[in-house]
Amino acid sequence: MNLSPFILLCVPFLLCVACTPDEDSSGMPDSVVPSWPPEPIDPIGEEEETAAGPDTVRYLALGDSYTIGESVPSEGDWPNQLVDSLALRLPDTHFEPARIIATTGWTTSNLSQGMDAQQIDTSSFDLVSLLIGVNNQYQGLPLEAYETDFVQLLNRSVELAGGQPDRVFVVSIPDYGYTPFGQGNQSAISEDLANFNAACAQLTAEAGIAHYNITPISQQWPAASNWVAQDGLHPSAPQYAAWVSSFAAEVQSQLTE
């Protein structure tokens, strides 16, 4: 998402009723701020059993600046943190480094074109994720166009996962109204993104694909003071760690069931 405060023009928003998250919407009290890198954990209790994972996992992450982790080190972006978490949970499985197709500023149509340019449809993956749409909203593009493009991206994601929708997952669009960059227009941004996220969730459910809602987690700033990267706009590595913590167990189940 090419949204640097120094180079981007503001997009006019209609005045809307403020969208304020519940205090416990992320499942974490405001006083608890996850650290990064996270402490190593034993994901499986001594008496618990888990299904064996595949021998090797090839993971493809599709998206925009949120997927490449703009303004955080590469090991801090959420796809790489997810791979690290899954490797701990499935120690007998070899995880190849995440393949990421994403660029700051990409809309849904840009992502589709980027996939074409890399001829990715000739490849096959064991796991595919999709997080896209914030630049459609920021640029004032129609929601209907987003919906059309998003369905096509969902279909391509399933094809890339060997035709298995249960090996695909979608991550919701975070709310950049809860950042230093967006705080002056927070209510309008949040309301606008709520419409995009509602469409995203509905279309994902209709496709029979897992949907992980991290938007409430993104709304923890400023209570979580380390939630935003140094650019004042994008999530920090600790926030990405919280995303991964919220859905890693479910992704593990997608690989083992």
Residues 230, 72 contacting (CB under 8 angstroms): no
pLDDT score, position 52: 77
Domains (ranges, CATH) in the chain?
A: 56-256 (3.40.50.1110)
pLDDT at 10 over 70: no
pLDDT digits (tens, 9 = 90+) for 118-148: 999 999 999 999 999 999 999 999 999 999 9
pLDDT of residue 50: 53
How far is the CA of 198 from the CAs of 98, 99, 102, 223, in angstroms? 28, 28, 22, 25
Quick check: 7 pLDDT over 50?
A: no
179, 228 contact by CB (below 8 A): yes
Q: Report the pLDDT value the prediction gives residue 53, as an integer from 0 to 100.
A: 84
Strand runs (DSSP E) across the chain, as ranges?
A: 56-57, 59-63, 94-95, 99-102, 127-130, 168-171, 210-212
With beta carbons less than 8 A apart as the criterion, state whether 74 and 83 touch.
no
Q: What is the pLDDT of residues 152-201, one digit of tens each?
A: 999 999 999 999 999 999 999 999 999 999 999 999 999 999 999 999 99
- Coil vs helix vs strand at 38: coil
> For residue 153, which of 97, 209, 98 has the smallest C-alpha distance?
209
| Rounded Cα gap, residues 33 and 223, in angstroms | 9
